[in-house]
């Protein structure tokens, strides 16, 4: 994949378009079934949003995108990654597998969906947010997912 959340039927960029621009189609390229990668990168840079995977090596156990059939072979060294981002105030996961990696890495409790807990990373306290999945397979309307994400962006 060239960038994060590129699948047309994933709603991440629609959620953020809805929150920040009151337009769920803000990041879509009109007449095409794809998102404007350059516009998304510019937006994330302006907002201070960094994206990264919680695993550097995974194995798909079935030919689908479900986390249920995803095996983490090599988790990301999140401590080293965050040491390079000294102004980072939060880690946010959008799926169960990513949440599992963070919980295992830091030995912290798993927040409820839409909630956060404090964790210590490299002697610094940051928030660990667990957001609803932006996948349409997650049974929650886009507007309700956006409301959960609003909590994240209003607090940080």
Six-digit token string for 68? 């249920």
Tens of pLDDT, residue by residue over 18-38, are 999 999 999 999 999 999 999
Based on the number of CB atoms within 10 Å of its own CB, is 112 exposed (0-12), middle (13-18) or buried (19 or more)? exposed
User: Looking at the predicted structure, is the pLDDT value of residue 1 above 90?
Assistant: no
User: Looking at the predicted structure, is the pLDDT value of residue 156 above 60?
Assistant: no
The full 3-state SS of 8-43, as one line of letters, equals CCECHHHHHHHHHHCCCCCCECCCCCCECHHHHHHH
Query: pLDDT at position 18, please?
Result: 96
90-93 and 124-130 as β-strands: parallel, antiparallel, unpaired? parallel
CATH topology assigned to domain 12-155: Uracil-DNA Glycosylase, subunit E (3.40.470)
* Cα 78–Cα 128–Cα 61 angle in degrees, nearest 5: 60
Tens of pLDDT, residue by residue over 77-136, are 999 999 999 999 999 999 999 999 999 999 999 999 999 999 999 899 999 999 999 999
CA 65/CA 77 separation, integer angstroms: 23
CA 63 to chain centre: 22
Mean pLDDT for the chain? Answer: 92
Q: Angle between the 12-21 and 37-47 helix axes, to the nearest 10 degrees?
A: 60
* Residue 119, φ and ψ in degrees, nearest 5: -135, 160
Query: pLDDT at position 65, please?
Result: 67
């Amino acid at each position: 994949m060239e960038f994060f959340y590129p699948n047309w039927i994933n709603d991440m960029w629609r959620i953020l378009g809805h929150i920040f621009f009151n337009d769920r189609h803000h990041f879509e390229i009109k007449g095409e079934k794809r998102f404007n990668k350059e516009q998304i990168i510019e937006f994330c840079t302006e907002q201070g949003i960094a994206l990264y995977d919680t695993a550097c090596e995974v194995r798909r156990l079935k030919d689908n995108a479900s986390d249920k059939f995803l095996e983490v072979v090599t988790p990301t060294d999140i401590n080293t990654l965050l040491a390079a981002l000294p102004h980072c105030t939060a880690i946010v996961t959008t799926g169960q597998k990513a949440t599992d990696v963070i919980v295992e890495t830091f030995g912290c409790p798993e927040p409820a969906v839409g909630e956060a807990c404090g964790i210590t990373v490299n002697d610094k306290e940051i928030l660990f947010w667990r957001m609803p999945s932006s996948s349409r397979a997650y049974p929650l309307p886009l507007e309700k997912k956006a409301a959960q994400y609003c909590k994240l962006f209003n607090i940080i």
